[in-house]
């Protein structure tokens, strides 16, 4: 009898606790946020929501564009389609009507694009970083303490130490050609000079495999440094190694487009250009790289 009484008391206690807890078997969850906390201001989808951006590999391979564009897209409702290539090829996309705007880094090619009537905004320089010369840590050509990039190229040529070039008519390749020219070096028939016809990332990979020198933008090198055990930065921030990036829209009224049925998203291009020149984008650009590399990878030009 006592055992039955004890069992009945235990069951009564269980039911009492269940009643205190609300009698629910559902898992506990945190309180739902208020409607004000979950409802963002609606973003109206633009009439033409896709912006075609043709750009150089460095701003994509360095991670800058993947870092910037989600903020722009969330604010505006636009979707940016990025075609990443060497500057020459990127400009080619714009000339064929396959891009609405450009973000590139080859002044002479940009100026020619404007002169040919392909841009109504003109060239808008807005940020920069530096080209660097990378190579084996033992620096067989002894370039580390030389003053300029031209001096470094002369030393590499004299030592026949080996050099990997993009060879792709990109902004980096054009910069490299200009340095060889200022150094007075004729590359004809030079076996130590390898013209690869490839993008920056692939060129760095091959330079690492061959343990030779290469010219690269610093941002792409730092972003890929962990995969390049045989390369280190040997020369940076020389006066002749500044790397300026510009924005250009594509002129829908360009004479070359006449009668071809080419459509350019002028409104979208303007929206993205305006945003990239804004204080919000500028703050993001100035901060990019600090957390991962301890330094900014790109710098804003003074307005």
Task: Please write the tens of the pLDDT for every residue from 256-268.
Answer: 999 999 999 999 9
Structure tokens at 14: 């269980």
DSSP, residue by residue, the chain: -HHHHHHHHHHHHHHHHHHHTTS--SPP-PPPPPHHHH-PPPPPPPSS-EEEEEEEHHHHHTSHHHHHHHHHHHHH--EEEEEEE-HHHHHHHHHTT--SEEEE--HHHHHHHHHTT--SS--EEEEEEEEEEEE-TT-TT--TT-SSHHHHHHHHHHHT--EEE--SS-HHHHHHHHHHHHHT---TT-TTEEE----HHHHHHHHHHHT-EEEEEHHHHHHHGGG-TT-EEEEE--GGGEEEEEEEE--TT-GGGTTTT----HHHHHHHHHHHTSHHHHHHHHHTTHHHHSS-S-EEPP-
The pLDDT score that the predictor gives to residue 21 is 37
CA distance 264 to 95: 11
Closest CA to 297 of 228, 225, 240: 225
Domains (range + CATH), the chain: 50-128+244-300 (3.40.190.10), 129-241 (3.40.190.10)
d(CA 131, CA 269): 28
Q: Are 203 and 131 in contact (CB under 8 A)?
A: no
pLDDT of residue 7: 38
Give the CB-side neighbour count of residue 169, counting CA atoms within 13 A: 7
Residue closest to 123 by CA, chosen among 245, 241, 276: 245
Say what the pLDDT of residue 159 is: 97
Q: How far is CA 38 from the centre of its chain?
A: 31
Provide CB contacts within 8 A for 262, sequence distance 6+: 97, 252
Instruction: Give the integer Cα–Cα distance in Å for 44 and 266.
Output: 18
Q: Angle at the Cα of 173 (from 290 to 289), degrees rounded to 5? A: 5
Q: Which residues of the chain have pLDDT under 50?
A: 1-40
User: What's the pLDDT at 60?
Assistant: 87
CA distance 117 to 189: 38
Cα→Cα distances 85→37, 57, 61, 199, Å: 41, 5, 10, 7
Nearest to 130 by CA among 62, 181, 185: 62
Residues β-bridged to residue 226: none
Alpha carbon of 48 to those of 78, 109, 146, 260: distances in Å?
Answer: 8, 29, 52, 20
- The whole-number pLDDT of residue 57 equals 86
In this prediction, residue 41 carries a pLDDT of 60
């Amino acid at each position: 009898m006592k055992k039955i009484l004890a069992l009945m008391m235990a069951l009564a206690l269980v039911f009492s606790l269940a009643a205190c807890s609300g009698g629910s078997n559902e898992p506990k969850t945190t309180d739902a946020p208020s409607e004000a906390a979950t409802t963002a201001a609606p973003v109206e989808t633009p009439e033409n929501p896709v912006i075609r951006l043709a750009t150089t590999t460095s701003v994509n391979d360095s991670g800058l564009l993947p870092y910037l564009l989600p903020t722009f897209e969330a604010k505006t409702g636009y979707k940016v389609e990025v075609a990443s290539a060497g500057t020459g090829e990127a400009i080619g996309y714009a000339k064929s009507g396959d891009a609405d705007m450009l973000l590139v880094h080859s002044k002479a090619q940009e100026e020619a694009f404007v002169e040919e009537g392909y841009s109504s905004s003109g060239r808008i320089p807005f940020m920069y970083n530096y080209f660097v010369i990378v190579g084996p840590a033992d620096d067989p050509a002894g370039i580390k303490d030389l003053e300029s990039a031209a001096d470094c190229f002369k030393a590499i040529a004299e030592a026949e130490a080996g050099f990997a070039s993009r060879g792709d008519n990109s902004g980096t390749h054009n910069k490299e050609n200009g340095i060889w020219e200022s150094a007075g070096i004729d590359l004809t028939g030079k076996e130590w000079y390898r013209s690869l016809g490839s993008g920056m990332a692939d060129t760095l990979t091959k330079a690492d495999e061959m343990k030779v020198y290469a010219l690269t933008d610093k941002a792409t090198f730092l972003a890929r440094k962990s995969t390049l055990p045989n390369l280190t930065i040997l020369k940076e921030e020389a006066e002749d190694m500044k790397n300026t990036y510009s924005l250009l829209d594509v002129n829908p009224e360009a004479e070359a487009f006449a009668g071809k049925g080419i459509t350019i998203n002028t409104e979208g291009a303007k929206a993205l250009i305006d945003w990239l020149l804004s204080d919000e984008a500028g703050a993001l650009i100035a901060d990019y790289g600090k957390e991962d590399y301890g330094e900014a990878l790109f710098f804003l030009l003074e307005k």
